[in-house]
């Protein structure tokens, strides 16, 4: 009876064990494949580099252990300090809209879990990432180093002022919530450089803003395809 009970518990915990931090098993690889197919490709992400990166980076390494079994689900997850790891689709879309080429230099503001930096690294760009919160910096730095993302350079600092010594950047990604775009970040963009940032609550709906610098002109585009289906089409037909 006792053995049966233990066997049941082990059996029930097996799927969770498959998602334990630090191990990439066939089950987690399969979960990633499903995530890419059902959440990312199905929503229109086509860049082979981005899809490849999303397939290769074990997302469950970057989430708190108690949420590891939800790592590949279609929603954001809290990672502590009031921060979140974005929904997989948002990560993919933010990476795709930057239209990156191998060797580009990218600055990420708000390392958070380190997952986005790992994806950028897997895309083949030179990544600089800044985190202001010491606890998050320490955790993400360790995760990135342990898992071999060596082309990511991390810094504990206030990202508001960018990274002047490493500038100019081909792209800047702001993953923290902001009420205005910090002027130094635009100044540190190359001509033709792009900056992307998410708007709205990560737990509600999110919108992306893509800023492109062309000489003295700064053009801002809202990418509303993130989650919002505008009031056109069927919703408007009812009017």
Partner 1 sequence: MLAAVFLISVSTLAFEVLLARMFAFTQWNHLSFLVISIALFGFAASGTLFTMAAPAVARWRGVHWSLLVVLFSASMLAAVIGMTRIPLDYHRLALQPLQAVYLFAVYLLLALPFLFSGGLVSAAYMAQPQHTAAIYFAVMAGSALGVLLPVPLLSVGSEPGLVVIAAMVPLAAPGVMLTDDWRRRSRHDRGAVLAVSAAGLLVLMAAAWLLTPGAQEVRDPKPSEFKFLSQIQSLPGTRIVATTADIRGRVDRVQGPHLRFAPGLSLKHAAPLPQATAVLTDGDRPVFLYDRSAAANAHFARDTLSFAGYELHGRPGSVLVLLSGGGQAVACALASGAGRIQIQHANPRVADQIRSHYGLPVAATPARSYLAQSAERFDIVHVESPGASMPGADALDQDHLLTIEAFGEYLRHLSPNGVLIVSRRLLLPPADSLRLWATARQALARGGATHPERSIIILRSWDTYTLMVFQEPPADPALIQEVAHRGNFDVVYADGADDSLSNRYNVFDAPYHFREHLQLASAVRKAAAEEYFRDYAMDVAPQTDRQPFPGHFLKWSRLPDLYRMLGSRLHAFGLSGEVVVALALAEAFGVSAMLLLLPIAAIKRRRERIPWRVTIFFLGIGAGFMHAELLFVYLGTYLLGDPVISLTLTLAGTLVSSGLGGLWSGMRGAGCLRASTGAAALVLGLAAAGLMLFSSHVLALPAPVRGAVLLAAVMIPGFLMGMPFPLAMRHLAQSTAVKAYAWSANGCASVLASILSAQIAIAAGFEWVLAAAVITYGIAFMAFLRTRLTMGTKTHTVMQGS
- Segment 100 to 129, residues that bind partner 1, using CB under 8 A: none
- What number of chain residues touch partner 1 (CB under 8 A)? 51
CB of 66 to partner 1, least distance (A): 8
86 is a catalytic site residue: yes
- The window from 27-35, 50-58, 78-86, 108-116 that contacts partner 1 (CB under 8 A) reads 78-86
Which residue lies nearer to partner 1 by CB, 103 or 230? 230
Helical residues (DSSP H) of 19-114, grouped into ranges: 26-34, 48-56, 88-97
Are the beta carbons of 140 and 117 closer than 8 angstroms? yes
Structure tokens belonging to residue 104: 């580009």
Of the candidates 134, 228, 116, 224, the residue with the CA atom closest to the CA atom of residue 172 = 116
Report how far residue 100's alpha carbon sits from residue 47's, in angstroms, rounded to the nearest whole number: 10
Q: Which of 75, 190 has the CB closer to partner 1? A: 75
Angle, CA 118 vertex, CA 113 and CA 185 arms, to 5°: 80
Under DSSP, the state recorded for 95 is H
Site for partner 1 in 2-61 (CB under 8 A): none
In this chain, which stretch among 9-17, 19-27, 46-54, 207-215 interacts with partner 1, using CB under 8 A? 207-215
173 close to 105: Cβ distance less than 8 angstroms = no
Over the window 210 to 229, marking each residue x when it contacts partner 1 by CB under 8 A and - when it does not, the resulting string is -x------xxxxx-xxxxxx
Return the residue of 1, 3, 5, 231 that touches partner 1, per CB under 8 A.
Answer: 231
Task: CB nearer to partner 1: give 120 or 174.
Answer: 174
Of 203, 201, 160, give the one whose Cα is nearest residue 180. 160
The catalytically annotated residue of 47, 86, 113, 167 is: 86
Which positions are catalytic? 86
């Amino acid at each position: 009876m006792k053995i049966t009970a233990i066997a049941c518990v082990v059996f029930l915990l097996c799927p969770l064990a498959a998602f334990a931090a630090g191990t990439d098993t066939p089950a987690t690889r399969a979960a990633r494949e499903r995530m890419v197919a059902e959440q990312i490709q199905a929503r229109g992400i086509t860049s082979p580099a981005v899809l490849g990166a999303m397939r290769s980076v074990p997302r469950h390494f970057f989430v708190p252990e108690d949420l590891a079994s939800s790592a590949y689900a279609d929603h954001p997850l809290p990672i502590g300090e009031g921060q979140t790891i974005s929904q997989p689709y948002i990560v993919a879309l933010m990476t795709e809209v930057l239209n990156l080429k191998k060797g580009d230099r990218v600055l990420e503001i708000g390392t958070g879990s380190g997952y986005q930096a790992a994806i950028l690294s897997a895309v083949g760009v030179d990544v600089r990432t800044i985190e202001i919160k010491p606890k998050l910096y320490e955790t993400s730095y360790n995760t990135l180093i342990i898992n071999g993302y060596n082309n990511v350079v991390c810094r504990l600092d206030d990202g508001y002022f960018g990274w002047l010594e490493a500038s100019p950047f081909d792209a800047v990604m702001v993953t923290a919530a902001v009420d205005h775009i910090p002027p130094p970040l635009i100044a540190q963009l190359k001509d033709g450089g792009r900056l992307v940032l998410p708007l709205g609550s990560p737990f509600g709906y999110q919108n992306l803003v893509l800023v492109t610098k062309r000489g003295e002109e700064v053009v801002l585009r809202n990418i509303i395809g993130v989650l919002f289906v505008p009031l056109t089409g069927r919703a408007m037909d009812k009017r």
